[in-house]
A and B are shown apart, each in its own frame.
Chain A
């Protein structure tokens, strides 16, 4: 339960820090640290416009999308304290429950009958399809390394390992950060600030959402950032005492947010046709991790 509270706290800052980093890097004054929250709150208060083409799918999709992210959040542990739902194989549910949200956001986009949103939906479905193997192989490697199959046990055991496990953890962190960029539709896969619908992925899918629904979608995005950053944090900090681990947690969140902000400031978005290659490279990196783990436990042929 502790993890959920911390994730929510982190989510309040995370996106703000990214935006702040971006504005500082580009020499702008930029929005305040809590501007994104103000945006979301404004949206929650606003009325909405619904397309005539849409059906009940469009009405329920943002709700379900938000709920899936929240339930996924409850699965994530924090150091020694388990997530609210913790069991063997919980990371499978984690990935699949996020996929449920994705399914709904895709069909909601198709529900509008807009060609732009269809395009975004098609891309989202394809890219998330490629990102998923990386996550599962990463977790598989960690399960192999530690001999456990739940988030909490894996992370706890990982920390107790030798220094070499930290090497694996660094690679794992890289993969998780990349997955988080894909999942949250950030650079270099997708550019949230682009103004051309043809080059959007996630933004174009939610073109027709407004008011409360858009607020839900944005909040879910903020949460997702913090969830993945927490996973990265868990890779390194196993079972340290809370007085150290909680500050460390916020430090990790801060570093990752700054890192993402810098990436977005100094990198251009990939060409759309290069995205699959990039994501497949990610899977190859996880395979590398897998073989690294094999070496570590002395099972390499």
Chain B
């Protein structure tokens, strides 16, 4: 109780203090408030993971009814993830925002929205009253919108922000529908009513309910085909916000899905197949489009979609495992999903933060203009490399551990699956492998083109490494990335707490099968350690041997060509070309070309722009037809104030009159009946 009061008071004090602070201090005070709240909530969360669930019920009012705040292990896990990313992101953000200190009003709005976002995200993990949950959801969406449109003088930013805002509200409509339906049937806004609803109305009805809530949460999480806001919003936001959005904001959608699964506890097998289907498509589609992107942050945004797909695969496998009474598969699936949620928040935020450093140093995120940055910003390049390896799921980093768990889930499922289902399993494996391979292609491209080789463009300003304070939080993230890779068992024992909630859904099992896995993971960490040790050994021998040899430096071998090779370097586009040629039939690439003509060639150019096919079919086409339809009523919008006032008055009159007329009509019918 006291803790919750304090939790709400800290942001309030920070808001009230805001006007009295100098512009420089506003960010710092906001960050302090965030730290305090993070410590408070993490303390509760750690206690919960220790075994005692936290519960408090606010009395609420007549509209909302009682407002229960229940923090179980699942909430606690997400609270910890949110806190870590927000804390590192905030510290990074303080440095990132230094350049914009002249934009006084925007800064103030930004830092307030930052506190709000943090508070809202944490509250969403605990709140279990659907009305209040939706209100908080709205606060989260709005504060995220404010954060995204920080550079609101750019048209593209505003457009991306509005796109995000609209799609967030579509998500709210679906959630609202689901929650109101439950409330109408059971008379309670408490989340527990969802369980009651499922209990009373049977499986098929609750499946419909699940689909509504799933779509609502999937829009936030960015499952294909509900992802279209994501590739716009992430690049438009300042880097620390992109990192936080990708790291934790979309994870709130995952949290929602997991929460609903916990509450509903029915149709688990069907739900599993639904989620697997969406996830496999999201995973492959996300990474396929990521490869084509020329904008570094947009590329990363598409990778978020891919990783949501991987997390979803884990959840789906877990659900099917529960539904088919296979506790090994269930625990592996959910453990993979929960761990990958953490992992993705780590390496994705790190990638966005490093992308932000690149942006601040060069003022561009167009990868075709970058190159050779590793010499000017070695630390950033190193950090990007670690995160790129981790996100490609390569050993010895954290991404491999969670993907390994999901793979193990699939391979353990294989011998126990029924005949028809085997096809699903093998295609899930296929999807996961393809995702891994495509991610490797994508990140070799991103890292290679941005950081390696020669600069592709001559910048007029000096390119320097970011200040150490800005890079420091990234080292914290890296430390966690590496330690999850090397000591997976320690983290898995934490994951086992929320995992037990899911396993407990099936009364036949009481504990997870983490025991077997810990032996496997121990072997993996031993092999990782030996990889490190052996590499160090070989490298040491190499140093020793080369110490006695003649080592010289020269130009890159140009096969006889000795001229300048900077312009001849492979570009990102050419690196991805053999791929994009092959997958032409799925992708949508607009090209603009002016070929070289005549003996003395004049100007020639080539430009290609990848576009999202799903967006074209699902968003652009319907909007086009709606526009066409609406254009028929364009005469109403004539720009004259008088008319608008008339519309308003007509509307109000209609609102008042329609019920009256309806009533009169009923009376008339009654009279007619009497006759």
A and B: bona fide binding partners? yes
Residues of A within 8 A of B (CB): 44-57, 60, 63-64, 66-68, 70-71, 74-75, 85-90, 92-93, 96-97, 99-100, 102-103, 106-107, 110-119, 121-123, 125-126, 128-130, 132-133, 136-137, 140, 143-144, 147, 149, 197, 207-208, 211-213, 216, 276, 287, 290, 294, 299-301
Shortest Cβ distance from residue B179 to the other chain A in the assembled complex, whole angstroms: 41
Q: Is the CB of B452 within 8 A of A55?
A: yes
A132 adjacent to B527 (CB under 8 Å):
no
Is there an interface contact between A99 and B448, defined as CB atoms closer than 8 Å? no
Within 8 Å of chain A (Cβ to Cβ): is B441?
yes
The answer to whether A112 touches B556 (Cβ under 8 A) is: yes
Given A121-B448, A212-B545, 12 other A-B contacts at CB below 8 A? A51-B557, A53-B556, A56-B374, A75-B527, A93-B400, A100-B389, A113-B371, A114-B556, A122-B578, A125-B444, A129-B440, A132-B437
Chain B residues within 8 Å of A, Cβ to Cβ:
371-372, 374-375, 378, 381, 385, 389, 392-395, 400, 404, 407-408, 411-412, 414-415, 418-420, 422, 425-426, 429-430, 433-434, 436-438, 440-441, 443-445, 447-449, 452-454, 516, 519-520, 523-524, 526-527, 530-531, 534-535, 538-539, 542, 545-546, 549-559, 565-566, 568-570, 574-579, 582
Cβ of B438: which chain A residues have Cβ within 8 Å of it?
Answer: 129
Pair A113/B452 contact, Cβ less than 8 Å: yes
Asked whether A63 lies within 8 Å of B448 as measured between CB atoms, the reply is: no
Interface CB pairs A-B, < 8 A, 15: A48-B549, A64-B535, A70-B534, A71-B530, A97-B531, A99-B440, A107-B385, A107-B447, A111-B453, A113-B453, A118-B574, A122-B577, A126-B578, A149-B408, A299-B418
Q: How far is the CB of B103 from chain A (nearest CB, A)?
A: 36
- Evaluate contact between B553 and A136: CB separation under 8 angstroms: no
Asked if B538 contacts A115 (CB within 8 A), the reply is: no
B-side interface mostly: helix
Known pairs A68-B531, A128-B437; A107 contacts B448 (CB<8 A):
yes
- Alpha-carbon separation in the docked complex, A49 to B554 (Å): 7
A87 touches B374 (CB 8 A): no
- Do B549 and A110 have beta carbons less than 8 Å apart? no
Contact B411 A143 (CB under 8 A): yes
Q: Which residues of A contact B575 (CB under 8 A)?
A: 110, 118, 121-122, 125
Residues of B within 8 A of A137 (CB): 426, 429-430
Residue of B whose beta carbon sits closest to that of A119: B570
A300, B422: Cα distance in complex, Å: 9
Q: Is the CB of A106 within 8 A of B527?
A: no
> Which secondary structure dominates chain A's binding surface?
helix
Complex Cα distance, B530 from A136, in Å, reads 24
Q: Of B530, B550, B555, B570, which contacts A115 at CB under 8 A?
A: B570
Knowing A113-B565, A126-B578, the reply to whether A67 touches B448 (Cβ < 8 A) is: no
In the assembled complex, the Cα of A113 lies from the Cα of B381 at a distance in Å of 16
The residue on A at minimum CB distance from B569 is A113
Question: Do A197 and B559 touch (CB < 8 A)?
Answer: yes
Question: Which of B393, B534, B555 is in CB contact (< 8 Å) with A71?
Answer: B534
Closest to B388 in A: A103
Which of chain B's residues have a CB closer than 8 A to the CB of A121? 444, 448, 570, 575
- Kindly list the 5 A-B residue pairs having the minimum CB-CB distance in the complex, ordered from nearest: A118-B570, A110-B448, A129-B437, A113-B453, A47-B550
In the complex, A97→B524 CA distance in Å? 11
- The answer to whether residues A47 and B552 also contact, given A103-B389, A129-B441 and a CB cut-off of 8 A, is yes
**Chain B residues within an 8 Å CB radius of A68:** 531
- The answer on a CB contact under 8 Å between B557 and A208 is yes
Inter-chain contacts of B549 with A (CB < 8 A): 45-48, 211-212
Q: Which of A71, A118, A211 contacts B527 (CB 8 A)?
A: A71
Q: How far is the CA of A67 from the CA of B539 in the complex (A)?
A: 10
Judging by beta carbons under 8 Å apart, are B436 and A132 in contact?
yes
A112 engages B395 (CB within 8 Å): no
Q: Is the CB of A93 within 8 A of B570?
A: no
- Which of B375, B378, B448 counts the most A-chain CB atoms under 10 A from its CB? B448
CB <8 Å contact, B419 and A294? yes
A114 touches B558 (CB 8 A): yes
How far apart sit A53 and B570, CA to CA, in the bound complex (Å)?
14
User: What's the minimum C-beta distance from B415 to chain A, rounded to whole angstroms?
Assistant: 5
A86–B558 alpha-carbon span in the complex (Å): 45
CB of A147 within 8 A of CB of B394, answer no
The answer on a CB contact under 8 Å between A88 and B415 is no
- Which chain A residue lies CB-closest to B559? A197
From known contacts A89-B407, A115-B565, infer whether A216 and B454 are also in contact, taking CB-CB under 8 Å: no
Asked if B527 and A85 sit within 8 Å, CB to CB, the answer is yes
Do A99 and B582 form a contact, CB below 8 Å, given A110-B448, A110-B449, A301-B420? no
Cβ–Cβ < 8 Å partners of A67 in chain B: 531, 534-535, 538
Q: Contact at A48–B546, with CB atoms within 8 Å?
A: yes
Given A53-B454, A118-B570, A126-B441, verify A99-B554 contact (CB < 8 Å). Answer: no
Contact B440 A212 (CB under 8 A): no
Are A112 and B414 interface neighbours, CB within 8 A? no
Cα–Cα, bound, A87→B582 (Å) = 37
Q: Please state if B452 and A110 are interface contacts (CB–CB under 8 Å).
A: yes
Docked Cα-Cα span, A296 to B569, in Å, equals 52
A133 x B453 contact (CB < 8 A): no
